[in-house]
Amino acid sequence: MKVSKEEILHIANLANLEINENEIDKYCKNLEEILDFADIVNKAPVEEMNITIGANQEKNVFRKDEIEVFEDNEMLMQNAPAKSRNMFEIPKVL
């Protein structure tokens, strides 16, 4: 698909990009290649294919939340830079 210099400048303006005059040809070529590839993908024969959502049948696998008691609180609290009433003390976040 052919892309004109005016189209490149219009796209650059919409994207608030500054393009040098010597870069326009490079962008034209790159955009033409992208549009040609998109055209190939759009023309791919997919009528006979099965509908797929992903590469495999796996779905989100969740585990049940289980409460476990941590036995060695004193060792854990040794790592706290500040503590209050047997809990980590952190600065207020507003």
pLDDT at 54: 66
- Residue 12: is it exposed, middle or buried by C-beta count within 10 angstroms (0-12/13-18/19+)? middle
22-69 per-position pLDDT tens digit: 999 999 999 999 999 999 999 988 888 777 666 666 777 788 889 988
pLDDT of 7 higher than 90: yes
pLDDT at 77: 87
